[in-house]
Structure 1
Amino acid sequence: MTTPLEARSLIKAFDGDAVLKGVDLTVEPGTVLGLLGKNGSGKSTLIKCLLGLLKPTAGEAFVFGEDAWSLSAAAKGRLGYVPQEVVTYPWMRVRQVIAYTGAFYPTWNQRLADDLCRRWNLPLEQRAGVLSVGQLQTLGLVLALGHEPELLVLDEPVASLDPSARREFLRILIEITGDGDDAGGRVGESARPRTVLFSTHITSDLERIASRLALLKDGAIAFEGESDALKERVKRIRLTSRNGALPTGIDIPGAIHTTVEGVLAEATVTDFTPDLPARLAAENNVDVAVVDLNLEEIFVEMHDE
């Protein structure tokens, strides 16, 4: 099966300043990949390069095996994209925008579009130009989902949605990817595997829906893999001395943050192994406690180093 999205040594610079510095990323069929990164880390730039909306300075990007910069109409018909800011035809009514967009896709599922509009309470007779930011983003989701794409790329899709609409969106996304109880029924009849690239700052959403995570930092992918693997790799360790104050320069392998206060020390390590607590206890005459971190805590720790 053709790989939906792939970046090879992708570099993108603006006025000589590199935002992407050799990104390698492969999104396999059927994957829900959560893309994490701070504001300004280059997430939107990476997405646009992957989809052929920006030309890379160097490296390659592929969509279904085709060069992203020269995608065929057939490949474009297999993907859906929701940018951070949805742009549409302000003079058209919502129902007209949906009908106009649907006319471009032989696979357009009007029943699905109608169902999504109902679930999100979209005002079909309202002109698109007077929609709220949240309503406009919801319309963008309907337009991206209506033709039942094999590949769905979402750049901060829930940033402007109210809690109710956001919850409904996540439920739909779970159905799309085949993990819901009624997957494939209420969200379309396509039997094709669905692949999703989902960029967001809301880590709790990613913990709920993403099967894999990619962390973009300093212009490159700092981690890519299953979320459980990241949680097993990044831990907080607390040391309590059995014999007086601990040295301020205590050596903890893989530590990105270390604080020492008297007999207590705390460190966040990025390469935790099951044998590390015992080694630290023996080498430093300390008691060791290991604390699990959630995804938000890991994100903060890895970006504050």
Structure 2
Amino acid sequence: MNQLSQPAVLADGLCKSFAAKQVLSNLDLALAPGTVLGLLGANGSGKTTLIKCLLGLFRTSGGRAQIFGEDAWNLSATTKERIGYVPQEVATYPWMRVRHVIDYTAAFYPRWNRELVADLCRRWRLPLDERSGSLSVGQLQTLGIVLALGHEPELLILDEPVASLDPGARREFLRTLIDLVEHPDRTVLFSTHITSDLERVASQIALLRDGQIEFCGELDLLKDRVKRLRILAPDALPASFAVAGALSCQVDGKLAVATVADFSPQEIDELRQTWNADVTVSDLNLEEIFVELHDSESPKLSQGELTGAVR
């Protein structure tokens, strides 16, 4: 496989268990260089476990995890220099002043953009002369982002990077991230529960459920396929009323509201004809789609629904 066609990140049949608990099961994922992928999943779905397996911080129980074609558990120093990582909880040396933490980190990288780092510290108001141990949680997370961006990595992996940032800092971070991802060869894996952030940044979405990737593809494709239907009939609808492919369906007299996972204009025409009904189709935002897909009563998507891949 040549370098151009080689995924920046690859999971092939990846499995991870902790004692008797299986967290990831035969998971497949491939990110082409230049992809900006948003990773979504309910709490406890295994997002952080997946990220740590991909980075070689956890050893997989089965399958493969690779970064730039190298086994994640045995990454070379050269490949590690191409990666930037922001964990959920940033750990540093509490006795060091912030500027010394930055200088210490910079010493590990042959290429370090001091102008970029100075600009980020100024824009994000990092107190360079304070000891890192005295920083607030949000300031510490901001420092972690700066350290991950300083060497301008080809692959940037973010695990809930803005969870502790205030709205202003989060806006600044997203503006910076949008500028960074304009580089055609920079790959980003962005895990967050703030779906509005993903809609601003990510072009691809991966949904993690029950230890597997349930959907992986373009955000626009996901929005095109998941729709909400408002069905108004001239007479009361039966309690058994159902819509094919519905994730949820509520019936109240003449009115039914259904969310479908595999939207088809032909099925809409059939509903209109069968029930002599007025059918209105509405778009959903990413948060609404996520809630519908991960509702405990919703069936897991079949292989024929929402098919997509990051290639």
Specify the TM-score bucket, using the shorter chain as the normaliser: over 0.9
Q: Are residues 1:135 and 2:156 paired?
A: no
Aligned residue number for residue 224 of structure 1: 216
Which whole-Å deviations, capped at 9, do the CAs of 1:140-160 have from their partners, x for residues lacking one? 001100001000000000000
Aligned residue number for residue 124 of structure 1: 128
* Contact residue 206 and residue 215 of structure 2 kept, 8 A: yes
Aligned residue number for residue 95 of structure 1: 99
Q: Are residues 1:293 and 2:308 paired?
A: no
Deviation at 1:283, TM superposition (A): 2.3
Aligned residue number for residue 67 of structure 1: 71
Aligned residue number for residue 17 of structure 2: 13
Q: 2:282 and 2:180 mapped to 1: Cα distance?
A: 34
Question: Which amino acid in structure 2 is aligned with residue 38 of structure 1?
Answer: A
Q: Are residues 1:281 and 2:272 paired?
A: yes
Q: 1:221 and 1:283 mapped to 2: Cα distance?
A: 36
Q: 2:211 and 2:199 mapped to 1: Cα distance?
A: 23
Deviation at 1:280, TM superposition (A): 1.3
Q: 1:204 and 1:135 mapped to 2: Cα distance?
A: 22
Which whole-Å deviations, capped at 9, do the CAs of 1:55-110 have from their partners, x for residues lacking one? 11111100000000100001100000000000011110000000000000001111
Gaps of at least 5 residues in structure 2 are: 299-311
Q: After the TM superposition, which residues 37-116 of structure 1 pair with which residues of structure 2 at under 5 Å, given as runs?
A: 37-116=41-120
Q: 2:273 and 2:23 mapped to 1: Cα distance?
A: 44
* Contact residue 242 and residue 249 of structure 2 kept, 8 A: no
Question: Which amino acid in structure 2 is aligned with residue 95 of structure 1?
Answer: R
Deviation at 1:111, TM superposition (A): 1.3
Question: Which amino acid in structure 1 is aligned with residue 127 of structure 2?
Answer: P
Aligned residue number for residue 163 of structure 1: 167
Q: 2:16 and 2:292 mapped to 1: Cα distance?
A: 26
* Contact residue 38 and residue 190 of structure 2 kept, 8 A: yes
SS at match of 2:251: strand
Deviation at 1:284, TM superposition (A): 2.7
TM-score by length of 1: 0.94
Deviation at 1:23, TM superposition (A): 1.2
Aligned residue number for residue 240 of structure 2: 249
SS at match of 1:275: helix
SS at match of 1:101: helix
Question: Which amino acid in structure 2 is aligned with residue 45 of structure 1?
Answer: T
TM-score by length of 2: 0.92
Return structure 1 stretches of 4+ with deviation > 2 angstroms. none
Q: Are residues 1:234 and 2:232 paired?
A: no
Q: 1:222 and 1:285 mapped to 2: Cα distance?
A: 35
Aligned residue number for residue 189 of structure 1: none
Q: 2:185 and 2:34 mapped to 1: Cα distance?
A: 5
Q: 2:267 and 2:139 mapped to 1: Cα distance?
A: 50
Aligned residue number for residue 251 of structure 2: 260
Among all aligned residue pairs of Structure 1 and Structure 2, give the percentage whose two residues are the same amino acid.
64
Q: 1:24 and 1:127 mapped to 2: Cα distance?
A: 42
Q: 2:106 and 2:22 mapped to 1: Cα distance?
A: 38
Deviation at 1:263, TM superposition (A): 1.0
Aligned residue number for residue 301 of structure 2: none
Give aligned pairs, total: 292
Q: 2:197 and 2:75 mapped to 1: Cα distance?
A: 31
